[in-house]
Structure 1
Amino acid sequence: MIQHATIRPIGLVPGPQSEHGNAVRLAGGMIYASRFAVVLRRDGKVVERWLASPDTIAEVIGNLPDGCGAEAEAQWSNLTLAHPPLALGARTIRLDQPQVMGILNVTPDSFSDGGAHDSPDAAREHAAAMVEAGAGIIDVGGESTRPGAKPLWEGDEIARVVPAIEACVAMGAAVSIDTRKAAVMEAALEAGAHMVNDVSGLAHDPRSAEVVARAGVPVVLMHAPGAAGEDLHEGGEYENVVFEVFDALRARRDAALSAGIEAKNILLDPGIGFGKSLAENLALINALPLFHALGHPLMLGASRKRMIGALSNEAEADARLGGSIALAMKGMDASVQLLRVHDVPETVQARNVWRGLRDAALTDFADLPG
């Protein structure tokens, strides 16, 4: 019999004063949590659930079955963990507020832009526009990961991404390489990339974890059910997608730590749209605060995803701005640190307005007694 206890924040509030101080700052960000569901699973099945607040959580954890208390204590500590900034070249990316990562696809078969930026000049121009608009990081990818896309030879992928990376570095941008191949990671880092974004969670290429550990750079570990094979979307069958993705990310995190990657360099992504149905994607997005219990910064990549089209009369990828902003805002409300998006100016504007609202919320009750 295998038992796990998981702490899920379910009551998010504008600030601690709205709960008379009985709220905690979630993951060091601009969101506060006042209520939590402590969920007990036995052999993968949910068997019991308790509600707790910051002043009762110790009692609830203390009453958990033997073997579950230490895990729950660690998760409670993780939920309130403030993450240090990312040092990416000359840029410092603070993680106490949402940051925007701009997508630069240098591939002719991207689902979102159909190869609009796969020439060197077009890539450079688009990257410069995203940096000017406020993107903290540029994420360069040379292989399409849409359903049905054919795997790309690593040599072709390197030829696509290296010129784009060099151009981004030359303009002073913080650069991430979006790849699942160790050889591409090595070439990208040599070209000046500062971090790795692996859609396979370092499961696809047996050398990738070694490459990242040796370089000492941050890495995003994303969940995809077919991560170890060629088709990332294969095998997406879940009984409880939220807890199964949570467990899978924990396993990939532990594998990364065992490979020598420092905890401070690990970020996690639940993999919206990868081997998941519309209902499962929605469940994951609604459960985003839970993933802070793993103790690492989170990235959300929901921009222009198929789920938006499914909820909006099958809108084409380039007509999904409204839905993309809605999902980005949901991520901000969950204290997600990185938002990976196609539409940088619009997302940055939404983030800035959102931050203004959060700052104002901290003084909403300033004149009340007590």
Structure 2
Amino acid sequence: MAEIFGILNITADSFSDGGKYLNPDEAIKKGIQLLQEGADWLDVSGQSSNVEASLVSEEEEWNRVEPVIRYFVPKGVRISLDSFRPAVQKKAIEAGVRCLNDITGFTYEGDREFLKTYNEKHPDLKFIIMHSHNRNIANKKSNLTPEKVTKKIQVYFRDRRNELLSLGISESAICYDPGMGFFLSEDPMVSFKVLQDLEILKLEFPQLMVSVSRKSFLGNVLGQLPVTEREFATLACEIHLLKTKIPYIRTHNVLKLRQAEKIWNLCQENE
């Protein structure tokens, strides 16, 4: 079974649910819902990464996520922090977060030696390296093509893995997210090529995390579907992830994915 990361965006401008959970009570309520639906982790973010997003201060980012972390960690809930800022990552680890999901692949300016220190203190920490063509917030401008994208991702993962290993982080603690949608290119076929090549990526990087939830490339190939109408496309794509046995799936709609997973597994029992 895949481990499911339920997306909890505590932001004003996330492309799918910006502004819905800025109130801590609403964010906690949503977190409880995701857990009840079957999430293994809550993937919490206080800084949007979509192409139209604005950078908030580190203080504001932390203030958004702290109440949720403080509420769930004492209850034994596993929290992943979706943040690329070392200062926010440090505070989160100190508050009990045990997974860092970094869209820059831990390349953002600032101290990264702290990763070694905290890894020694907390050997259960996970580190998710995400690939992005610009190593930052999503950007429509990209020179990636379907023919080149998989090799580019492999080279990037190797580079980032080597740095984390040099900091004493074990390979078993590192997960890899190839990035999708505008993290790759405005051309949807670039994302579909990655999905077609997941088995190739898994050979070298078995601990893959993939998030296709409601992303632009799904809407673009179906006649510019708005975000609110991408649920069926998302689920079709996530069933492909189940078929490919991706170990970690990050999604907005945990319930639909868990239901699909149950039916998929029952269909495969005699194979």
TM-score by length of 1: 0.68
Task: State the match for 2:72 in structure 1.
Answer: 168
Alignment of 1:284-299 (within 5 A): 284-299=194-209
Pairing 1:337–2:247 present? yes
Ranges in structure 2 where 5+ consecutive residues have no aligned partner: 120-124
Distance in 1 between residues matched to 2:161 and 2:267, nearest whole Å:
34
Runs of 4+ in 1 over 4 A off after TM superposition: none
DSSP 3-state at the match of 2:13 = coil
Native 8 Å contact 1:104 1:140 kept in 2: yes
Distance in 2 between residues matched to 1:170 and 1:281, nearest whole Å:
38
Native 8 Å contact 1:218 1:265 kept in 2: yes
Task: State the match for 1:247 in structure 2.
Answer: 155
Task: State the match for 2:139 in structure 1.
Answer: 233
Distance in 1 between residues matched to 2:114 and 2:257, nearest whole Å:
32
Post-superposition shift, 1:262? 1.1
Distance in 2 between residues matched to 1:200 and 1:234, nearest whole Å:
16
Post-superposition shift, 1:205? 3.2
1:260-283 deviation line (CA, Å, top 9, x unaligned): 211110000100120322110110
| CA pair 353-213 structure 1, distance change in 2 beyond 3 A | farther
Pairing 1:356–2:266 present? yes
Distance in 2 between residues matched to 1:99 and 1:189, nearest whole Å:
21
Native 8 Å contact 1:213 1:262 kept in 2: no
Aligned partner letter, 2:20: A
Moved more, 340-349 or 313-322: 313-322
Task: State the match for 2:184 in structure 1.
Answer: 275
Post-superposition shift, 1:235? 6.1
DSSP 3-state at the match of 1:268 = strand
**Counterpart among 311, 328, 338 of residue 221 in structure 2:** 311
**Counterpart among 93, 117, 125 of residue 214 in structure 1:** 117
Aligned partner letter, 2:87: A
Q: Which has the larger radius of gyration?
A: 1
Please tell me the root mean square deviation across aligned C-alpha atoms, in Å: 1.6
* More strand, by proportion: 1
Aligned partner letter, 1:218: K
| CA pair 335-191 structure 1, distance change in 2 beyond 3 A | same
Aligned residue pair count: 262
**Counterpart among 84, 98, 101 of residue 194 in structure 1:** 98
Aligned partner letter, 1:243: K
Task: State the match for 1:138 in structure 2.
Answer: 42
Distance in 2 between residues matched to 1:161 and 1:263, nearest whole Å:
28
| CA pair 295-278 structure 1, distance change in 2 beyond 3 A | closer
1:111-167 deviation line (CA, Å, top 9, x unaligned): 111211121111111100111111011000010100132222211111111111112
**Identical aligned residues as a percent:** 28
DSSP 3-state at the match of 1:173 = coil
Native 8 Å contact 2:133 2:144 kept in 1: no
| CA pair 295-313 structure 1, distance change in 2 beyond 3 A | closer
* More helix, by proportion: 2
DSSP 3-state at the match of 2:116 = helix
Pairing 1:129–2:37 present? no
TM-score by length of 2: 0.91
Task: State the match for 1:93 in structure 2.
Answer: none
Post-superposition shift, 1:252? 1.1
Native 8 Å contact 2:188 2:218 kept in 1: no
Task: State the match for 2:168 in structure 1.
Answer: 260
Ranges in structure 1 where 5+ consecutive residues have no aligned partner: 1-96, 362-370
DSSP 3-state at the match of 1:360 = coil
Native 8 Å contact 2:81 2:101 kept in 1: yes
1:45-95 deviation line (CA, Å, top 9, x unaligned): xxxxxxxxxxxxxxxxxxxxxxxxxxxxxxxxxxxxxxxxxxxxxxxxxxx
Distance in 1 between residues matched to 2:218 and 2:206, nearest whole Å:
27
